[in-house]
Amino acid sequence: MSGEKSVILVTGGSGLVGQAIKTVVDNEKRQATENSKNEIWIFCGSKDGDLRDKSATEALFEKYKPTHVIHLAAMVGGLFHNMAHNLDFFRENMAINDNVLHASFRYKVKKVVSCLSTCIFPDKTSYPIDETMVHNGPPHDSNYGYSYAKRMIDVLNRGYHLQHGCTFTSVIPCNVFGPHDNFRLETSHVIPALIRRMDDVMQNGEPTFSVMGTGKPRRQFIYSLDLAKLFLWVLRNYENVEPIMLSVDEDDELPISAVAETIKQAHGYTGDIVYDTSKADGQYKKTASNKKLRSLYKDFKFTPFQVAITETVAWFKQNRESART
């Protein structure tokens, strides 16, 4: 991308990953890097256009005429929200993805990097999962609507490449967390939900904190600022339409109980953690291999989990009134 002006449109730009990318891009601008001199970044949220609507999506592309797109926009939610609204998750995300990719084709966008999720992988599979296994079987029943819609991005990417020569690709991050996350209890993922609920318990002076489920399911978590740096690397360097996994190492997979204890330490909470085993655990594990990433970007260093959690909790405490709560 160096040597010529690029206009990069980020859909879902007001969300967790979009804001992390903005933070990294702003840091590059302050350092006056070569990339920052040649890139114009546009971060769009839902208020800038309803991507479920084809006309609104095309109006956005007509307005900004992007040369590159990072596609993050999606209808998202936690385990229990997914379980109750699978059809909605499928239909709305299918509409968003089809509209964004077709507008990218119509407006001759040079490259699109879309964001998938490890939940798209088959429920019954061997571990670790990697990029070749996306379509090997049905996803977990709890979030099949979201999972199938995200899988279809890969199908669309291959179609646009084979039929029109487009460089549309995708990344598959493990569970993302960090500043600007969604901390709403009804729709948040596990880390922001635990951070928000523990803060509530502390404010109320309650002696115990309840975690839904057994605490045994294991997950890999990536700090949003690390993911943002990897997104920029993919945008600038990765030219394959095949997906690439953006995940921490396999050894960094943690049980939810360890996550809760780390958040407790970051909060300075002195009460006890108990587990409500009457609540569903969801998928036990989704161990992901980042072998492909490590082979292409050998020296990338991930932020230690405890440091990332401490920074995220501090951000939430400082921004609770304006955060998505």
Residue 308 lies in a domain: no
Structure tokens at 51: 């991507």
Domain tally, the chain: 1
Query: What whole-number distance in Å separates Cα of residue 120 and Cα of residue 57?
Result: 25
Could you read off the pLDDT of 231-248 as tens digits, one per residue? 999 999 999 999 999 999
Residue 309 lies in a domain: no
Output the pLDDT for position 194: 96
Query: What whole-number distance in Å separates Cα of residue 89 and Cα of residue 203?
Result: 34
Could you read off the pLDDT of 298-319 as tens digits, one per residue? 999 999 999 999 999 999 999 9
CB burial of 54-87 (b: ≥16 within 10 Å; e: otherwise) equals: eeebbebbeebebbbbbbbbbbbbbbbbbbebbe
Residue 310 lies in a domain: no
**Sign of the CA dihedral 138, 141, 143, 145?**
positive
Could you read off the pLDDT of 98-113 as tens digits, one per residue? 999 999 999 999 999 9
Kind plus residue range of the DSSP H or E element containing 254 = strand 254-255
Strand, coil or helix: 56? helix
Which band of pLDDT confidence, cut at 50, 70 and 90, is reported for residue 79? Answer: low
Residue 146 annotated to the active site: yes
Q: What is the CATH number of the domain that holds 157?
A: 3.40.50.720
Query: What whole-number distance in Å separates Cα of residue 151 and Cα of residue 82?
Result: 16
Q: How far is CA 94 from CA 80, 156, 236, in A?
A: 20, 11, 27
Mean of per-residue pLDDT scores for the chain: 93
Residue 227 lies in a domain: yes
Lowest mean pLDDT among 3-17, 229-243, 254-268: 3-17
- For 72, residues 6+ apart whose C-beta sits below 8 A from its C-beta are 10, 11, 12, 13, 15, 17, 18, 115
Residue 258 lies in a domain: no
Residue 126 lies in a domain: yes
Domain limits for position 152: 6-178+220-251+285-303
Residue 191 lies in a domain: no
The one catalytic residue in 146, 160, 223, 238 is: 146
Residue 164 lies in a domain: yes
